[in-house]
Amino acid sequence: MRQPIVAGNWKMNGTLESVRELVAGLKAGVGEVNAAEVVVCAPSIYLSEVSSLVEGSAIKLGSQDVSNAASGAYTGEISGAMLNDFGTQYAIVGHSERRHGRGESDELVAEKFKAAQDAGLIPILCIGELLEEREEGVTEQVCARQMDAVINAYGVESLKNSVVAYEPVWAIGTGKTASPEQAQEVHAFVRAHVAKQDAGVAAGLRIQYGGSMNAGNAAELLAQEDIDGGLIGGASLKADDFLTICRAGG
């Protein structure tokens, strides 16, 4: 039985004041979320503040990225150990805004995945195809390639302590959600791809859906057999909407 996991990706949004308000709203309602694990991935600069604010609540903390290096002369980077120092438990790696917006390669993302695990964090590995890739019919190849970058470098066992987020790039921030059937199809493919190497790891792997998931469409998406939660951008900035999604997750 896979515990659903709903994570909010706040991206580069908010102010200290709005972050405090958002967390207060989440804390007020998180008690009604029964089954899903609830995570907020705050901008790094606010992690320390959010870490103190969520203490004692069921809300867990995640970062939006992590350096592939453990320490050293890497100006502007933040290491897994530093994130850990502030109670961060999860780290998003390979978000499309970094793969496509910042030119991160599959190999770099895999290194970040490993660096997160080495620091005791659970990576949330984002994968997903561009619109043109879907139109060309290569969605499965793209997702397999992005998964294989991790599997080939660190072994299928490395997925045991991780979460995968399938996020079709054309659905992120666009209001165009994948239909539950479209999402389920890719989720099932990803699980089967992992199962070719290790059926046990595949059965336990939590695969989130991300891309315009909101309070209105979450229940239908989360009801799909291989969808084990959501990675939520826009709708995670409103406490009520995010909590509705978390409740839909169980």
Contacting positions for ligand PGA (CB under 6 A): 9, 167, 172-173, 210-213, 231-235
d(CA 108, CA 78): 15
Structure tokens at 249: 């997750």
Task: Please state the φ and ψ torsions of residue 166, each to the nearest 5 degrees.
Answer: -85, 115
Question: Among candidates 88, 79, 77, which has minimal Cα distance to 52?
Answer: 88
| CB closer to ligand PGA out of 38 and 232 | 232
Residue 37 bears catalytic tag? no
Shortest Å distance, C-beta 71 to ligand PGA: 28
Contacts of 159 (CB under 8 A, 6+ apart): 150, 151, 194, 201, 205
Residue 220 bears catalytic tag? no
Shortest Å distance, C-beta 141 to ligand PGA: 22
Contacts of 28 (CB under 8 A, 6+ apart): 239
Q: Which of 37, 95, 111, 187 is catalytic?
A: 95
90 - beta bridge partners? Answer: 62, 122
Half-sphere exposure of 178 (CA within 13 A, CB side): 29
| CB closer to ligand PGA out of 121 and 235 | 235
Structure tokens at 225: 């057999």
Closest chain position to ligand PGA (CB): 233
| CB closer to ligand PGA out of 222 and 231 | 231
| CB closer to ligand PGA out of 162 and 201 | 162
Shortest Å distance, C-beta 233 to ligand PGA: 2
**DSSP state letter for 157:** G
Shortest Å distance, C-beta 210 to ligand PGA: 4
Structure tokens at 55: 């203490």
| CB closer to ligand PGA out of 25 and 69 | 25
CA torsion sign for 232, 234, 236, 239 is negative
Shortest Å distance, C-beta 169 to ligand PGA: 9
Q: Which of 104, 129, 167, 187 is catalytic?
A: 167
Residues assigned a catalytic role:
95, 167
